[in-house]
């Protein structure tokens, strides 16, 4: 497991491009029959990628759970949310089997002991993108299909940000301890997300960009509103966004991204908006 430690905004101002990428960018999430994991000390969020091909892959494959979490199993004191961004797949949670198609979501509650992933066909393997947060209470493991997500259209073609926010792991859909996750889909001709830029002091986020067409990139904006930086990101990469950082971006094409939040609350209007003309 790759361990990332917290960075403060004062030191961040002096980071080079290489240092920013090393601290915040998550690359190479999907490897055949493996679990890729990054533990961030920003709110102790864990970002994982699992791509089962020929095997049934357990959640803790290759992870020393006691060393990294001090618990007997991965979800003893954690919850997680996952999306399938590949071919058809299955997730088994303590004997219960959940079938996930493309863009379907599964919330797994604290206390689940046996979690395994598999693909329906090795020729079109599933890709499970996962984010896990600390938890204190067990709720209900639940499958949310893309068709059942709460859909919130926003933006316009005139401002290049026409998009639909799909809320999956969200207080209006199901109860969780602190984890919230959803998926924002930009329409053709739109490239901007999450404007106006903002921060939320009481929550952090992880962004996962996918459906980025070949030879295209997304410029992910981060840093303080008056001291911005950017990371150039490619398809199926994620980025860690601390509470003091803005999190917005523009692509050379339309794309889709999954947002995951964790922290003190789940109030989605709890944000400090920065007028676009005040960004520096």
The C-alpha angle with vertex 222 and arms to 15 and 47, in degrees rounded to 5, equals: 95
pLDDT at position 22: 97
150-171 pLDDT, tens digit each: 999 999 999 999 999 999 999 8
Q: What's the rounded Cα separation, in Å, for the pair 163 and 127? A: 24
The C-alpha atoms of residue 13 and residue 228 are separated, in whole angstroms, by 9
Residue whose entry in the numeric block shows the structure tokens 């863009």: 103
Q: Is the pLDDT of residue 137 over 80?
A: yes
Helix then strand then coil, % of the chain, to nearest 5 = 10, 45, 50
- For the question of whether the overall pTM of this predicted structure is more than 0.85, the answer is yes
Task: Specify the range with the lowest mean pLDDT, choosing from 106-115, 178-187, 258-267.
Answer: 258-267
Average pLDDT, the chain: 96
Q: Does 268 have pLDDT greater than 80? A: no
231-to-25, 168, 193 alpha-carbon distances in Å: 8, 27, 15
pLDDT, position 165: 96
- CA-only gyration radius of the chain, Å: 18
């Amino acid at each position: 497991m790759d361990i990332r430690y917290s960075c403060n905004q004062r030191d961040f101002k002096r980071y080079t491009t290489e240092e920013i990428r090393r601290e915040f960018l998550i690359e190479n999430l999907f490897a055949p029959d493996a679990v890729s994991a990054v533990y961030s000390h920003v709110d102790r969020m864990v970002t994982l990628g699992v791509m089962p091909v020929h095997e049934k892959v357990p959640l803790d494959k290759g992870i020393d759970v006691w060393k990294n979490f001090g618990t007997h199993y991965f979800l003893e004191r954690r919850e997680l949310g996952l999306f399938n961004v590949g071919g058809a797949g299955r997730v088994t949670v303590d004997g219960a089997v959940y079938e996930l198609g493309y863009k379907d979501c599964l919330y797994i509650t604290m206390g689940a002991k046996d979690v395994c992933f598999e693909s329906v066909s090795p020729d079109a393997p599933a890709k499970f993108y996962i984010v896990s947060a600390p938890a204190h209470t067990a709720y209900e493991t639940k499958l949310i299909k893309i068709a059942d997500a709460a859909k919130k259209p926003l933006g316009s073609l005139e401002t290049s940000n026409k998009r639909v926010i799909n809320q999956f792991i969200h207080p209006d859909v199901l109860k969780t301890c602190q984890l919230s996750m959803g998926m924002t889909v930009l329409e053709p001709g739109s490239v901007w997300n999450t404007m106006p830029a903002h921060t939320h002091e009481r929550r952090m986020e992880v962004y996962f960009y996918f459906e980025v067409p070949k030879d295209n990139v997304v410029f992910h904006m981060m840093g303080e509103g008056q001291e911005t930086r950017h990371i150039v990101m490619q398809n199926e990469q994620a980025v860690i966004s601390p509470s003091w950082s803005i999190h917005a971006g523009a692509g050379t094409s339309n794309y889709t991204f999954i947002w995951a939040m964790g922290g003190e609350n789940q109030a989605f209007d709890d944000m400090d908006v920065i007028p676009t003309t005040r960004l520096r």
